[in-house]
Amino acid sequence: MKYNEISHFSHPQHILKFEYTEVPFKCDGCKEVGIGSHYRCSFCDFDLHMHCAIHSLSIYHPFYTKCSFQFFYRPPGDTPRYCNACEKDINGFVYHCKSCGFDLHPCCAKLPMVLDDGEVNLYLHRKVRAVCHRCGRKGRSWSYRSGCKKYNLHVACVREMLMENWHELYFGHGKDSTRKLETRIPSLKNTLQTPHKRSKGKVKKCCEMAVLALQFVISAVLGDPTALIAGVIGSLMSRA
């Protein structure tokens, strides 16, 4: 559900207005990177992911059928906590299961079980046996895997790529922002592991499909899976 304006307990002094941006921002709720649809206070430079701004008091997740996750505006307890989906630290808003001790970033908790653009279907899995196209390893975090089972991306790997490029993305404001996006985002494409012993045409096709898969997953992890950021991330990543 989308509202043009909302009030939020984390920023009571001003109304937050719905905005859409192709410039990455840092969410002041969960402290993670975001892009696309969000709520913002322009007076205070305060931003919230959609899932952080309009959250549930409690949720259930199909990967943890015995868990009930409660919303916390900060990590409970004094022990450092990490997200069971992307394996990154919890520094702000979180869904926490008291009985199991599991934690999920709000955007990770709301990751779509299926990403579908009509050509590529990516299914979210808690664990997969296939290697990740980015790190070349098995296991680790939740993964998106294509329906044909040829393409697999760890949610944790996508998080790592975003953090590696965070400063160039976030601080690339003004007239130089497009240039910095152009120089950094294609490097994500170059980190993908490509299959060997294939014809040149098949390898090219595999790379194109893997990059498209990465585009979908990045959009979902950034908190706006419906906006595939085709005008920025998609076009830049597809450039050779």
Q: Which residues pair with 41 in a beta bridge?
A: 46
CA-nearest of 113, 109, 147, 145 to 129 is 145
Q: What is the pLDDT of residue 15?
A: 96
Amino acid at 200: K
The three-state secondary structure class of 72 is strand
Low-confidence ranges of the chain (pLDDT < 70): 1, 117-120, 140, 162-216, 224-240
DSSP state of 88: P
Q: What is the pLDDT of residue 207?
A: 53
Q: What is the pLDDT of residue 226?
A: 54
pLDDT tens for 32-68 read 988 888 999 999 999 999 999 999 999 999 999 999 9
Q: What is the pLDDT of residue 225?
A: 59
Q: What is the pLDDT of residue 119?
A: 67
Residue 156: in which H helix or E strand, if any?
helix 155-164
Q: Report domain extents, the chain.
A: 5-50, 58-110, 111-167+209-231
What architecture is the 58-110 domain classified under in CATH? Answer: 2-Layer Sandwich (3.30)
**Rounded to two decimals, what is the model's pTM?**
0.76
Q: Cβ distance 67 to 41 under 8 Å?
A: no
pLDDT tens for 83-92 read 999 889 999 9
Q: What is the pLDDT of residue 69?
A: 97
Q: What is the pLDDT of residue 18?
A: 95
Distance between CA atoms of residues 143 and 128, nearest Å: 7
Q: What is the pLDDT of residue 228?
A: 47
The backbone torsions φ and ψ at residue 187, rounded to the nearest 5 degrees and listed phi first, read: -65, -25
CA-nearest of 47, 53, 17, 46 to 35 is 47
The torsion angle over the Cα atoms of residues 28, 32, 33 and 35, rounded to 10 degrees, is -70
Q: What is the pLDDT of residue 193?
A: 47
